[in-house]
Structure 1
Amino acid sequence: MRVLAPACSPTTSLLLLLSLLSPGGRGTPNCSFRYSPISSTFATTIRKLSVYLLQDYPVTVASNLQDDQLCGALWRLVLAQRWLERLKTVAGSQMQRLLEDVNTEIYFVTSCAFQPLPSCLRFVQTNISHLLQDTSEQLAALEPQITHLNFSQCLELQCQPDAPTLLPPRSLGALGAPAPGRPLLLLLLLPLAVLALLLAAAWCLCWQRTSPRTPCPGEQVPHAPNPQDERLLWLVEH
């Protein structure tokens, strides 16, 4: 059994990177298919390759490719096809034939003039078995409808928009204005409390001057002397 081995030469690595990032220049702006380019045996072809491959061989996939209902499957096949082209350059002769068979199943994507990959794409490492399984699933999703769709608007791969930055929660003030802080509120209320005490004291003094026998609010009222109590007190003293 042959397994893939990563390329060691810097020149080869550069060529592999360019082959992955370079746009398919053989296509035209019109991306549609009158006849289905997907064979009925693609699942078997991919399965044969999976048997001979080292299942944990590392590849990369786009982690933030936009999940577009029309273009999503085609975009993933574009990236998978470029990976197959890259793998053929580091595989043995027997493995190259199997890779070429799978590449033939998805080579139709090169008939569309895709733009260079956007710089916003982020790639994560995964196993090649996952890449082949995803390729099979995308072909199965496209097969029944590929002749009825026009993919001309899919020639530029799109990234998922970044999540918006969450704003800090606002206080429930009037009209959405932030409520003042507690220390500031206390400073504003303190002069009002002092003023209220001064007004109450001034009113009490004024009340006592105008009505000497009338107590201020809260003052205890002295009881009037009882005449019988005064008489008893006089008898005791004499």
Structure 2
Amino acid sequence: MTVPAPAWSPTSLLLLLLLLSPGLRGTPDCSFAHSPISSNFAVTIRKLSDYLLQDYPVTVASNLQDEELCRALWRLVLAQRWLERLKTVAGPQMQGLLEAVNTEVYFVTSCAFQPLPSCLRFVRTNISHLLQDASAQLLALKPWITRRNFSRCLELQCQPEPSTPLPLRSPGALGATVLPAPAPHLLLVLLLLPSALLLLVAAWCLRRRGTPCPGERARTLRSRGAEDARPGPEAEPLALPSGRRPRPAPAGGCA
């Protein structure tokens, strides 16, 4: 039994050749030998804009790195994803217009782009701005699409975040802080302070030791008065009343 060979129509063969052509589908290192950007992409995009709601909400990345070689390609990658998403919610007539614009930017899918980085920030805009931007990026990329190798553009990059100010030192971290050297006059005062304190303490002790107690001062005055009134050797001692004994002087210290 002979199996008939499949019949290939000219359209099928043309599509197969387009898929297998390395110049149109791009090489793994994302370079193109022949330009995949058509000469009437602006007309195709304008036709779609005439049928779309101008304020239909979409999102665009606001912090793509401003890289001269890759920025246009990155913005087209994001626009192509939005076109694919809009095709799933559009009617038959609108799907045809969306597919025509998607064909103009579909060449970006031939490059093995990495998944979108988590650092990307998206802001809301309308579909008219997205389509205008896609047209501007195709226009900027067209002269260079066959002259450059876009292999280093396969990973979308974000703009670097602004530098974060250093946090204030906590009280616990002051131990590692170098303290300023004390002033010379302050250092001199600190050196002389112990000596001055010792002199004050010594002076206070000497004054304290040389001051008599109040009782001793009174007895000294009485003894001086008694010596002045004491009779000569010939005078007899004063007689004390009976039953009274002279009070002995204290052994020492204040009475």
Q: TM-score category by the smaller chain?
A: 0.5 to 0.7
Instruction: Measure, in 2, the Cα distance between the counterparts of 1:106 and 1:134.
Output: 12
Following superposition, the deviation at residue 29 of structure 1 comes to: 2.6
Q: Which runs of 5+ in 2 are unaligned?
A: 1-24, 169-176, 197-255
**Number of matched residues?**
164
Under a length normalisation based on structure 2, what TM-score does the superposition of the two structures give? 0.57
CA contact (8 A) 2:26 2:32 kept: no
1:37 aligns with 2:36: yes
Amino acid at match of 1:62: A
State the match for 1:151 in structure 2: 150
Q: Does structure 2 conserve the Cα–Cα contact (< 8 Å) formed by 1:28 and 1:113?
A: no
Shift, 1:189, TM fit: 4.6
Which runs of 5 or more residues in structure 1 are unaligned?
Answer: 1-25, 170-176, 200-238
Deviation sequence 1:188-208 (CA, Å, 0-9, x none): 859849x7xxx9xxxxxxxxx
Answering whether residue 137 of structure 2 is matched by residue 134 of structure 1, we say: no
Identity of aligned residues (%): 76
**Matched residue type, 2:91:** G
- Per the TM alignment, residue 145 of structure 1 is displaced from its structure 2 partner at its CA by 1.2
Give the match for residue 80 of structure 1: 79
Q: Could you tell me which amino acid in structure 2 is paired with residue 151 of structure 1?
A: F
Shift of 1:179: 8.1
Q: How far is 1:27 from its partner?
A: 7.1
Structure number, greater radius of gyration: 2
Whole-Å separation in 2 of the counterparts to 1:109 and 1:98: 19
Give, as a single letter, the amino acid of the residue that structure 2 aligns with 1:140.
L
For normalisation by structure 1, the TM-score amounts to: 0.61
Q: How many Å separate the matches in 2 of 1:98 and 1:81?
A: 14
Q: CA deviation at 1:85?
A: 0.3
> Which secondary structure state, in structure 2, belongs to the residue aligned with residue 34 of structure 1?
coil
- Summarize the Cα distance change of 1:158–1:139 in structure 2 as closer, same or farther, 3 Å threshold: same
Which residue number corresponds to residue 225 of structure 2? none
> What is the 5 A alignment of 1:9-28?
none
Cα distance in 1 for partners of 2:97, 2:85 equals 14
Give, as a single letter, the amino acid of the residue that structure 1 aligns with 2:127: I
**Structure 1 residue 28: Cα displacement:** 5.3
